[in-house]
Structures are given as C-alpha cells and as structure tokens.
Structure 1
Amino acid sequence: MNHWDVAALYRFAGIPNAHELRQPVLELAESLGLCGTLILGEEGINGTIAGPRSDLIVLLNKLGEWQPALANLAPSWSESNVKPFFRFKVKVKKEIVTLDVEGADPRVSVGTYCDADQWDAVLADPDVVVIDTRNDYEFKVGTFDGAINPKTRGFREFPSWVDDNLSPDANKKVAMFCTGGIRCEKGTSMMLNKGFETVYHLKGGILGYLRDRDAADSKWQGECYVFDQRVSLKHRLEQGSYSNCGGCRMPLSQTDREHHQYERGVQCGNCAHLYSEDDRVRFGERVRQQQLAAARGEDHLGLSAAALKIKRQQARSLRQARSAASNR
C-alpha cells in the first residue's frame, strides 16, 4: 500500500478497565491491517495509528462502544506515502504521557487552550514566556520563534527544569506547546498546581498549527519531528526532509547526510565512533534485507523486540550524552 492515513489522538478520560481493552483492541487492529501504537491507562488514551481511513474509523468507533469515555475521538489526520510503523502495539501504562508528578491531571485543572490565531497573539505578547516542552533533539528540527528550549531528554525532566528556571512570582504568563498537544496539556495542569496564574497551551499542538498554516503566514521555523517513519513534517503536514540515522536513530538533515562519516542505514557523524566494524557490517546487511523486502513488495519487520529495546537504549544514551555536552 502506497498511501496511509495517519490518525494522532489522545484524550484524558477515566478508563477503569484499560487492561481489559488491550486484547480486543489489538485483535481488531491486526484484523484490519493497521499499524501504530496506542497507550491505554486509567487517565485516558494516547497514540498514533495508520491504515485506510475507513478502517481507522472502524477502530475508533469500536473504542467508543467498548468504553464510552472514548466516544467521538477527534484525531489529527495526516497522510504518508510510506508505512509509518512496522506493526500495531497496544500498551497499558499508569500514565498515557509520563510526567511523574502527583496531581497533574488535566481532567481536574488545565490551562487555556489557544487555536492558531490566538497562539500567534500569545507569541507576540512580550510578557509571555513561551516554552517548547519537547525533547532537545525535537527542538533542533524546528520550533516557534522565540521559544525556550529546556534541553530535556524526556518529559520526566520538565518539572525539574520548571523548578530551576521559572517562578509564579516572576513569570505571570507562560505558554507551552508540543507535537500533538498532550505533553503541554498535562504540563499546564502541573504549572497551575505550582501556582502559575496564566498558562496557555496550543490546542492540537504543532501538528494542528501546521495543518492550518501556510509557511508565509506562520510563526513556525523548520520542520516538526514525528515518531514514525516519516520522521518530520512541514506546513500543511507535507512530508519533511529529515531521515533517521540507521545507527543512533537521531533525526538527520540534508547537511547531516552530507557528513563524510554518514552511511545510509548504518551510521552518521553523531554515532560513527560508537560502533565496531562488525556492527557496521550488520547494519549494512539490514539495509540490504530492507531493499530486498521492498523489491518483493513485503514489509521488513527488522530487529526482534529484544534487539529493538537494546537499540533504543543505545540511542537514548547517545541523546543524553549530546544533551549533556550542549549544556556545558
């Protein structure tokens, strides 16, 4: 299939039977040939899934039937000309986006939602502190004019950054944004609990803003990193120019791919020193197998779950090392 509809969605809503939903959701999604990830928890649902729109709607409707708190989900829709995910996964977690702050619950308290026009006005207000709540490597792909980069390696680090850099007395107005809206929405609840008076957040996140804006009328600079095979998106949610390194999984610009140590699917200038020659041979063979699978019109599922876990840990360690170096 050369066309995939992509639905990014979340909702903070009480789901007491999240564990019971996992298997029927997984079975239905697999029977429909969908791919992506859904996270279920007592506080709601979060995820991005892909497939034919009609089949995605079947799943979304079923979610509402099985759990009324999930009725009428309104995803942010985009498209892809490559399969965005290798398989379909359903995870059950304590938090649908991990912040690790007791009492941060958008169902109880939440900041002021801003649509695209309102957000532009917020950005123009010199009294507002605008914060990018995403990870450091996401910020470097693109962000809003004047936004602060907390240089976090994960959302769990955001509360400590707030405690160290902001205060309710000094910062009367705070605005936050993230990819789809879920991180900043939960972040606003935390900020209000800390005593911040006025907290704005971008409704629908960056993806909603880019969907509604042409580049000429936008305050966004660069592209938006996404956690799927498209890697980045531009205005009107068109395919971006970034790719992921086959070794460390960091997003790479065209300039990064022109680095003398870059080898497609194997390594980039950030990670070339981390791998042995045996590693590079294995990575090269993986690229060859991917090419053969594509020629046969088949999916290449790649590494086993255990190997993928190790690879993600390696990529996380590299991001942490780069972030620590940039903070010196």
Structure 2
Amino acid sequence: MQSATTPIVNIAAYKFISFDDTQEKRAEFQAICKELDLKGTILLTPEGINLFLAGVRASVDRFLAWLRSDARFTDIEVKESYSDDQPFKRMLVKLKREIITMKMPLIQPEKGRAPAVDAKTLKRWLDAGVDDAGKPVVMMDTRNAFEVDVGTFDNTLDYRIKKFSEFPEVVAKHKDELADKTVVTFCTGGIRCEKAAIHMQNIGYESVYQLEGGILKYFEEVGGVHYTGSCFVFDYRTALNPELEPSGEIRCRNCDAVVKPSEQASPLFIYGKFCPRCAEG
C-alpha cells in the first residue's frame, strides 16, 4: 500500500483509433488497474480510448508499458501532473459509443485531423496577436460554460454551451464573423477540439487549428501566460493552476457549482451542504 506522503502521478491520455474489441478488452483493463492499485476512469469506445488515471510512479509506468504493447496504442501521448493524495476514489472502466459525445458520426479524427498548433507556437502568436501569415488570432473555447468560468485564455470566444453536442449548431452561426481570422480551438486535454476543428473545416472555416494537447499541455510547456484562472479537471482536485497544482476550487455537493477559495470564506458556504450560489438561489 502507498503511504500518505507518496507523490501521486496523474495521467491523462486519449487516442482516436478503431477499437472494435472493447468488450473483450474491458476485463483486461480492469484487471491490470486492480493489480497496480490505480484509480480513475477509462473510456473504451469504437472510436478509441480516453483515460484519466492516478497512482504511484512505478504503477503508472507499468500500466503505460502494458497499454503500449498493443500496437494500436504504441504512440499514445500522455500528459502528467502530480498530487500528494489520490484524486480518485475508485477505478472505473466504461464502454461508450464516443470518446466525447458530439452526435456526428461522420467526424472521425482517426481518418485525418485538422491542423494543430503546439503550445510554444501559440504563445508566440498570442504575443504578436497574429499568426505566421499575419492573420489575427482568435481563441475559441469548446468546453462547457461551467468549465470556462473556472479559467480560460484571455479574450476567448465562449459560446456558453451546456454540452458538447450543442457546439456544431452554435459554431455554424458565427462562421461569417470569423472569416478573416485564424481560429484556434482548445479544451482541457485536446479531445473536444479534435472533433471541433474537423467540423469547422467541414462547414467552411478556412483557417482553423486545434491546440495540441489542450490547456494542460499548454500549462506544462509555457505556463499560464495569456491565460486567466485555473483549468477545470474531472477529478477531486477540481481545478489545476498553470503550475499543474490544485488551485483550491472545490465543487459544491448540493448544486455542483465550482466554488472558488474566496467564496469558501462566505457564511453562505457550508462544505458538503451548500454554497453562496445555491444558498441564494
């Protein structure tokens, strides 16, 4: 058993790839994670894999070696962060239809991605305000509204969507006003903007990129420049700052809102019961 002082390695990874034996593989994933005392969530879908796992370094390394022994996942890229405690309470291996639900089956990143921009290049573009061709750069957040409220890039386009399946209709309405811009889509780790950028190309956006590795990779490589706030993550850390450390936000167990440290000092906040938002509402 790991001690309370053992640093925990948190990994996030995904890959769009044909994966037609998810049912058979589920038991293998469950077994290896149990053996290695890993916790988190793994999604197995016909279009690929998505995972968020945490455990001690040796266990994470053994899991990745096992995963990469499957030729389909040899080149899967992983983002890492660290915590003093295990951020997950249990281990789940789920079967789903899509890695991220968009309800547009013709969008298949495995068959070809939209152009991607890496973190260092994006920082350079944002420093200058234009891309290498001299076109104005606009950031577009593809995440849900409550995630955006925790933190996002400065001056980003935020369409206040409640679920990703709303994105195609919303983004189509704004195509004309972005005709002379270079649009960079982004999300937490890169999954949503994989599909978002392809869809935008399909409906006629001429200059659209996806941020390679999402916000977490941007934090890892260049820090928080041009970004305000933290990045919401779907585990018990709630949000990470640009140093990839827990930023102090928590989720209200009553209304599910993200409660910032300043709000936690309010008399209207009682941990586990209510927060200023639901207490007043």
Q: TM-score, normalised by structure 1?
A: 0.78
Shift of residue 31 of structure 1? 1.8
Which residue identity does 1:142 align to in structure 2?
A: G
Give the counterpart of 2:265 among 258, 276, 293. 258
Residue of structure 1 equivalent to 2:158: 149
CA separation of 1:111 and 1:258: change in aligned 2, threshold 3 A: same
Which residue identity does 1:33 align to in structure 2?
A: D
Secondary structure of the corresponding residue to residue 149 of structure 2: helix
Residue of structure 2 equivalent to 1:57: 61
RMSD, aligned CA: 1.9
Aligned ranges 1:1-328 → 2 under 5 Å: 1-2=3-4, 3-65=7-69, 67-123=70-126, 124-125=129-130, 127-167=136-176, 170=179, 173-215=182-224, 218-272=225-279
Alpha-carbon distance in structure 2 between the residues aligned to 1:167 and 1:35 = 45
Residues 179 and 205 in structure 2, CA contact (< 8 A), matched pair in contact too: no
Residues 85 and 229 in structure 1, CA contact (< 8 A), matched pair in contact too: yes
Alpha-carbon distance in structure 1 between the residues aligned to 2:153 and 2:178 = 25
Residues 131 and 176 in structure 1, CA contact (< 8 A), matched pair in contact too: yes
Shift of residue 168 of structure 1? 8.8
Gaps of 5+ in 2: none
Which residue identity does 1:113 align to in structure 2?
A: A
Residues 104 and 190 in structure 1, CA contact (< 8 A), matched pair in contact too: yes
How many residue pairs align between the two structures? 271
Shift of residue 143 of structure 1? 0.7
Shift of residue 197 of structure 1? 1.6
Q: Deviations over 1:4-44 (max 9, x none)?
A: 11010001111121111111101110121110001111111
Secondary structure of the corresponding residue to residue 25 of structure 2: helix
Secondary structure of the corresponding residue to residue 110 of structure 2: coil
Alpha-carbon distance in structure 1 between the residues aligned to 2:180 and 2:278 = 39
Alpha-carbon distance in structure 2 between the residues aligned to 1:156 and 1:69 = 27
Q: Deviations over 1:210-241 (max 9, x none)?
A: 112244xx111111111111111112212212
Secondary structure of the corresponding residue to residue 276 of structure 2: coil
Secondary structure of the corresponding residue to residue 256 of structure 1: helix
Residues 180 and 204 in structure 1, CA contact (< 8 A), matched pair in contact too: yes
CA separation of 1:195 and 1:48: change in aligned 2, threshold 3 A: same
Which residue identity does 1:101 align to in structure 2?
A: M
Shift of residue 94 of structure 1? 1.3
Q: Deviations over 1:37-90 (max 9, x none)?
A: 01111111112100012212222222233x321124221011112221111111
Q: Which has the higher helix share?
A: 1
Secondary structure of the corresponding residue to residue 194 of structure 2: helix
Residues 172 and 203 in structure 2, CA contact (< 8 A), matched pair in contact too: no
- Say which one has the larger Rg: 1
Gaps of 5+ in 1: 275-328
- Percent identity between matched residues is 34
Alpha-carbon distance in structure 1 between the residues aligned to 2:177 and 2:242 = 34
Secondary structure of the corresponding residue to residue 267 of structure 1: coil
Q: Which has the higher contact order (CA 8 A, sep 6+)?
A: 2
